[in-house]
Structure 1
Amino acid sequence: MGRIDYYDDPTAPAANSLVVAVVVVVLDGNRVLMIQRSDNGRWALPGGGQELGESVRDAAVRETREETGLDVEVTGVVGIYSDPRHVIAYDDGEVRQEFALCLTGRATGGELRTSCESIKVEWVPAERLSELDASEATRRRVEHALTGADPHID
């Protein structure tokens, strides 16, 4: 299913759902674990929707493993992102208002691999992140994680 991210775009469709999502900035020194999404070809952080019966931490670990092949340990909180100007439109008609909990993590095992949600999985040096086709939301989250500021809340 395809998706389009809109940020502060007057042509964006109106949101019709709100789903708790978890994304993880997995760091290895100066490198960030990134995936190239299979639904829109853009680069993103591993993550996805939290399921009933699981914690935020469990969702972060599960989503990272599913999309990258790596096991991770959650190490901190980057922020809570809920800006109603950011909506994500899916092919099936769902339009989500952003609600993402962004965490930091470190790899503890596994092997890099792609999945049905990721066509590429790479450790990207921080200085190369600007070269990637990534959403503004992804760029902001990585920047907040790398600067180590207090958790961001919007």
Structure 2
Amino acid sequence: MGRRIDYYDDPDAPPANSLVPSVNVAVTNNNGEILMIHRTDNDNWALPGGAIDLGESVAEAAIRETKEETGVDCEITGLVGIYSDPKHLIHYTSNDEVRQEFSIVLKARPVGGEPQTSDESRAVLWIPAEQAMDRQMDRSMRRRIQDYLQEQKQPIIS
């Protein structure tokens, strides 16, 4: 498996060669804990998520990716925002793809399943909201989680 390298406003970053719509999902349980994964490809903590496949909706992709990466079934409840900062590049070393960030971040609640790891997650945990920002993560993911925790009145569009 290749690695994932995140760059932000880095003059040494390779140029983008793709733009892939993706989703991240902020799943919160009744205890106010956020479902997070410890990624295998970059050793960072993140919200579950991934690319939207042809033939599926944003919500379908969010539900599928959350289940695949965490074992948890969820129901989409809202929108945090759309993140498309061209300064954030994601380099996948397995195929030399360099994506410009394009992520739709959704809110969700769990409806079944149990946390379990996958090929993409070395750990899956329910993290108390006040501790979510204490984990190692890239700056773009940190911003998404901060925006979610601040409970913005309107979705973020960046």
> TM-score normalised by the shorter chain: which range applies?
over 0.9
Larger mean Cα displacement after TM superposition, 142-151 or 54-63? 142-151
Match of 2:156, as an amino acid? H
CA deviation vs aligned residue, 1:106-135 (integer Å, no higher than 9, x gap): 100001100011000001112222321111
Gaps of 5+ in 2: none
Task: Give the whole-Å Cα distance in 1 for the aligned partners of 2:84 and 2:105.
Answer: 11
Matched, 1:151 2:155: yes
Q: Which residue number corresponds to residue 75 of structure 1?
A: 77
CA deviation vs aligned residue, 1:45-90 (integer Å, no higher than 9, x gap): 1000000110000000000000000000000000000000000011
SS in 1 for 2:147: helix
Q: How many residues align?
A: 154
Matched, 1:108 2:111: yes
Match of 1:59 among 35, 58, 61: 61
Match of 2:79, as an amino acid? V
Larger mean Cα displacement after TM superposition, 27-36 or 53-62? 27-36
Q: Which residue number corresponds to residue 25 of structure 1?
A: 26
Identity among equivalent pairs (%): 55
Larger mean Cα displacement after TM superposition, 95-104 or 123-132? 123-132
Larger mean Cα displacement after TM superposition, 67-76 or 7-16? 7-16
Task: Give the whole-Å Cα distance in 1 for the aligned partners of 2:92 and 2:54.
Answer: 21
Gaps of 5+ in 1: none
SS in 2 for 1:142: helix
Task: Give the whole-Å Cα distance in 1 for the aligned partners of 2:8 and 2:85.
Answer: 9
Match of 1:114, as an amino acid? T
Task: Give the whole-Å Cα distance in 2 for the aligned partners of 1:30 and 1:139.
Answer: 18
**Cα drift, residue 7 of structure 1:** 1.2
Q: Which residue number corresponds to residue 50 of structure 2?
A: 48
What is the Cα-based RMSD across aligned positions, in Å?
A: 0.9
Task: Give the whole-Å Cα distance in 2 for the aligned partners of 1:69 and 1:41.
Answer: 19
Q: Which residue number corresponds to residue 2 of structure 1?
A: 3
Task: Give the whole-Å Cα distance in 2 for the aligned partners of 1:119 and 1:43.
Answer: 10
SS in 2 for 1:108: strand
After superposing on structure 2, the runs of 4+ consecutive aligned residues of structure 1 that deviate more than 2 Å are none
